[in-house]
Amino acid sequence: MTSPKPLTGIRVLELARILAGPWAGQLLADLGADVVKVERPGAGDDTRTWGPPWVDRPDGSHLAAGYFNATNRGKRSIEVDLESPDGQTTIRKLAAHADVVIENFKVGGLKKYGLDYASLSAVNPRLIYCSVTGFGQDGPYAHRPGYDFMIQGMSGIMSLTGEPDGEPLKTAVAYADVFTGLYSSNAILAALQGRTLTGRGCHIDMALLDTQVAVIGNQAMVYLLTGRPPPRTGNAHTSIVPYQVFPTADGHIIIACGNDSQFRKLCGLLGTDWADDPAYATNPARVANREVLVPLLADVTRTWTKADLLAGFERVGVPAGPINTLDEVFADPQIIHRGMVLDLPEPEARGGKVPMLRTPIVIDGEAQVAPTAPPRLGQHSSEVLSDPAWGFRES
């Protein structure tokens, strides 16, 4: 018998769109929460039209963009006009029976509708209200809209990404949004636990800029300890050598030696005596002499094929790996074994299913993933608005 998921019985009202807020909502849905996504009548979440690619119907028309499907699994969709008095009444009624509200309107944007934290917590003092914005609820930038790309630039991560003589680069995934969604869900889980102690809800203030600065991590410490911004180093590591991309006879691989023992094993496989040379025997020495050591290493690695070198490193215990394209990722036996891709049923989609990536969370051997595909716009309006758990009478 399958155990109930951790958030079974928790009700989440999602007044969010695009990525960061919906990402948090999807994770809560994966963990068992009933997440009701409120969408604009006739239009819905902006990302429904952010295609191609699309999830298509059998007749070739579009069901929704792949972008929307990436972040709205397991939710129920209702259409509500927040600008209308009836819509506002509906949201207040839903909030009265919710455990969590997630919203990503501009600061103060919901106050004019009476749907801000102060208004809804007066109706439901146990409500946990998570606001996601670009810059937070206060400060000189609080009024500004925030988008992932500009946040990556402002946070400093782009100054660290790219080749030393190239232009700064963003990541290919909207990591400011994704990380903010993850931190938001973490904060919500903490607030749910905190509510068991206090009996009251709270207002969570999540900002994309705060989050992206926070995840700079060890690179931030380089600046905080030295007063000097770390330079862009391409695929190299500022504090570990060898820890970067190396050439082979038929492509490139990653070598990631995290300690001196691994470096000695690397040298043994490659047939060199560098591990006995004081200039390279320790990691601090290798970092100091990287300009000499890395070309020496590259001259040897390029005489091996990728397959032979990776097999050799695995045999002796040196961390190394390929640089996969996505087709190679999803053909990888480890990814297949772990079931990272799954098909969720959707009767209106071509083939009757939608391919999804599951959450990476596994509890007691069970992958935590919602069993339903992302909802069609307004698919559950009648169902939710007659659900006694949300304060409505059955029709």
* 193 vs 222: CA distance, rounded Å: 35
* 252 vs 294: CA distance, rounded Å: 14
* 156 vs 153: CA distance, rounded Å: 6
* 394 vs 205: CA distance, rounded Å: 35
Q: Which of 126, 145, 120, 127 is nearest to 135 (CA)?
A: 145
Q: Which of 184, 176, 154 is nearest to 26 (CA)?
A: 184
* 255 residue type, one letter: I
Q: Which of 307, 308, 321, 208 is nearest to 255 (CA)?
A: 321
Rounded to 5 degrees, φ, ψ at 317 are: 85, 35
Secondary structure letter of residue 264 according to DSSP: H
Q: Which residue is associated with the tokens 């990653």?
A: 254
- Residues marked active site are found at 177
Tokens of 142: 């609080």
Query: Residue 295 is inside which H or E element, if any?
Result: helix 290-301
Rounded to 5 degrees, φ, ψ at 363 are: -120, 125
CA-to-CA dists, residue 316 to 86, 177, 269, 319, angstroms? 68, 39, 8, 9
* 267 vs 368: CA distance, rounded Å: 42
Q: How far is the first Cα of the chain from the last one, in angstroms, to the nearest whole number?
A: 33
β-partners of residue 65 are 54
* 309 vs 348: CA distance, rounded Å: 47
CA quadruple 111, 116, 121, 124: dihedral positive or negative?
A: positive
